[in-house]
Structure 1
């Protein structure tokens, strides 16, 4: 959303968190750029320069604020529109930066079905910077967070952020951030306190609280916290996840193949518009990846200012408006897709039971601070190589077993990627080609594993019940009014069945 300078300054005066992540201010008198929620002394209007993203502020000659920490701001809310190509490309670059992956722009352009030249032109026109500058900024913001919130060595930080060498990392960081990596740590005494323990942010057993890694992630208000917590609590799988009465969500996690597993715990801080996350020290080298997974799992990058007005087209007054609807994803795309398959033509409770059996039979054990959380969700490799009869013994019908193993094989061999950086059309076509995966499953996987905001399972029984019809064609026609945010409409319709409003 583009704002005139005077309107942007009013946002800065009010510290309006709705603009967090899509408005940054560079202050010429200090050479620093901040988020609109920063609580430093308000700069003079004539000293302010406004930017739509952190990369543009950096290119304008400003370094990131050490207090409001631009790396914690919400990211892009993807839209299906003319600018969607540029936003999808940016999200793919963010994904690569968070996962420390090398990037080849022609490959990204090919995935999006355009030429490299066209992508560069559209990207620069929409974001104001080149794709490479945007990627470098994302890597540096991740590096800043790793240097601040973990005890990783500078060499490990450089590797985790995708830099080819520590020397290159030091040079780029010093040039862009006006501070060396070691200098940043000296300027952040809180980081040392965290690494030595500090005050626990969440309720953990004393023996582990002092060693846990602690971070905070921001979101744009409003946020339907109660709705998200109900959704997660109803789908908690014993051994993998748990939600307590105070809204503390905990789970086990293997963030990537071959990496050390661990656990995370999180809770909402509504007064700060943040989520507080604590994770096991074993996950520290993957902090960027973990942050991306949590942001996806809780849909922290959504922009209610764009979504809520479209949801007003739902057939009110049958449904009471709920500001800040979110689409919970998952901490692993393959896990989300498996849950979708196991949920075919059964209730949420029945799907949860089948998933629990799968975890108990094939999930590896892991130690956590909570005895009841002791299993990892089975990997794609494990399920692909398991005897079909062993999966069938769990009460899973043959067609579902075939679908699970076909999907697992494709994911294990890298032919299908189930993450928010995956190309949508090609991924959905690959899913449709698998046995036992119909359009309902494809749409839900797009919604929860790929974070696609306009997915819509028109034949979903819950959606049809909420709308009072069993005519899927009529439902699909009605949903045209809710583009490009139909995934959020689905969540609101499901929610109405739970709450009766």
Structure 2
């Protein structure tokens, strides 16, 4: 979709028609009000002469614009462009979303990308209008606003859960972006006739994970239920109202997360899909892991995808057209833990369950059937060093194979194929799911070039229709 929004006239038409498909693809600001919005903002369309366009919310904020209180532009799904792009800007955006700047600073981000901090700053600023610090700040502000307005968590806890280094920094940022104090922001929260969802140490943190366009939740939950590894995952409840729960190893601690299946949204009167959300609840041993945990769930459920762009391309293919019409908005599920996914892609679910029972770290406080974390690569490499599993886990442990959000996908696949016994279909599965490559496909399949750059989605359509199996 971002390819269609390449000039300002096209963007203004999207704003004029309040086209939600462009939410997150770009932002617009109104010079006469000092406010920036998402394209689908329901407010009166401003005059073209008063509008400025920005690639990111951070760029709009850096130019002195405040977030619209009506359309809440900071709450839109992330741009699907960052999942598609394999260049340094795309890789940097995926790392920033994962919280790398908050944890390791700009120097850590640059080191992961293999560039100097100055080069990263220059490239991001030139293309996106904001550097890594500003982009990370915008993400922290969104998390803070969301927690302030949807939970009863203390303001101090929200500040650190959002990634701010101090309460003062948190307060200054909220004032600058929302023209409100945290207390005023909380008091102004839209209620919609419903009480605010509570967040306590026992109840966890409730969140809504937004997506654009239609979303075939049933397919994703079917896949997760089929693949679930006892001890670290479970899917419970009747079809259409299932809950997926799993454990997570996070940078500062551990977590147990739950995501609910939600019926698809109906088309609007104009035939468009307005988007929607999945309800989630997070139990974290350290609130600083909130942003990272949310982003990993977004990758697992493929919530930043642009289904309109995917379905437009694939729906033009005679073979795929009826499949797209039957399941519009089908996603290509990713991974909550890329290294875990790589091991599971190699071993299969039965062997993965054995590894969990034998080498997984037991939770300090088990929750029902969730009792362990998936074993770390270094643990597996030391415990079972032989064969392909030993080679893979050793390579993951020492960094010879990198699967983090900023990894170079081609380099990672080459490193995987260099491991003894790891075949091309397994490497392709790891690339598609652990690295989130929307165009990944195993070799040897008769796949037309017209399916690019969405071959991974095309294969999911075929699999949903029973026309193709992953392994």
Q: The TM-score by the shorter chain falls in which range?
A: 0.7 to 0.9
Partner of 2:103: 101
User: 1:134/1:182 Cα in 2 relative to 1: closer, same or farther (>3 Å)?
Assistant: same
- Residue deviations 1:177-210 (CA, integer Å, cap 9, x gap): 433444433443869943367xxxxxxxxx96xx
Question: CA shift at 1:499, angstroms?
Answer: 9.0
User: 1:403/1:5 Cα in 2 relative to 1: closer, same or farther (>3 Å)?
Assistant: same
The answer (yes or no) to whether the contact 1:28–1:48 under 8 Å persists in 2 is yes
User: 1:312/1:497 Cα in 2 relative to 1: closer, same or farther (>3 Å)?
Assistant: same
For structure 1, which runs of at least 5 residues remain unmatched after alignment? 198-206, 343-350, 389-400, 459-471
- Residue deviations 1:208-251 (CA, integer Å, cap 9, x gap): 6xx23211121121333333233223222234221432242321
Task: Measure, in 1, the Cα distance between the counterparts of 2:103 and 2:373.
Answer: 24
Task: Measure, in 1, the Cα distance between the counterparts of 2:112 and 2:287.
Answer: 31
Task: Measure, in 2, the Cα distance between the counterparts of 1:359 and 1:109.
Answer: 34
Matched, 1:489 2:458: yes
Partner of 1:290: 293
Aligned length: 449
Matched, 1:303 2:306: yes
Matched, 1:320 2:323: yes
The answer (yes or no) to whether the contact 1:213–1:284 under 8 Å persists in 2 is no
Matched, 1:250 2:244: yes
Task: Measure, in 2, the Cα distance between the counterparts of 1:433 and 1:137.
Answer: 40
Partner of 2:272: none
Equivalent position to 1:217, from 209, 223, 229: 209
Residue aligned with 2:36, SS = strand
Scaled by the length of structure 2, the TM-score of the pair is 0.80
Equivalent position to 1:428, from 363, 388, 413: 413
Scaled by the length of structure 1, the TM-score of the pair is 0.76
Partner of 1:130: 131
The answer (yes or no) to whether the contact 2:210–2:278 under 8 Å persists in 1 is yes
User: 1:328/1:171 Cα in 2 relative to 1: closer, same or farther (>3 Å)?
Assistant: same
Question: CA shift at 1:387, angstroms?
Answer: 5.0
The answer (yes or no) to whether the contact 1:124–1:130 under 8 Å persists in 2 is yes
Partner of 2:219: 227
For structure 2, which runs of at least 5 residues remain unmatched after alignment? 266-274
User: 1:383/1:81 Cα in 2 relative to 1: closer, same or farther (>3 Å)?
Assistant: closer
RMSD over aligned Cα, in angstroms? 3.7
- Residue deviations 1:392-440 (CA, integer Å, cap 9, x gap): xxxxxxxxx6333333344445554433232334433433343332332
Question: CA shift at 1:127, angstroms?
Answer: 1.8
Matched, 1:331 2:336: yes
Residue aligned with 1:263, SS = strand
Task: Measure, in 1, the Cα distance between the counterparts of 2:13 and 2:264.
Answer: 23
User: 1:113/1:236 Cα in 2 relative to 1: closer, same or farther (>3 Å)?
Assistant: same
More strand by share: 2
Matched, 1:376 2:373: yes
Question: CA shift at 1:10, angstroms?
Answer: 5.0
Partner of 2:270: none
Question: CA shift at 1:298, angstroms?
Answer: 0.8
User: 1:67/1:357 Cα in 2 relative to 1: closer, same or farther (>3 Å)?
Assistant: farther
Question: CA shift at 1:115, angstroms?
Answer: 6.3
Question: CA shift at 1:291, angstroms?
Answer: 1.1
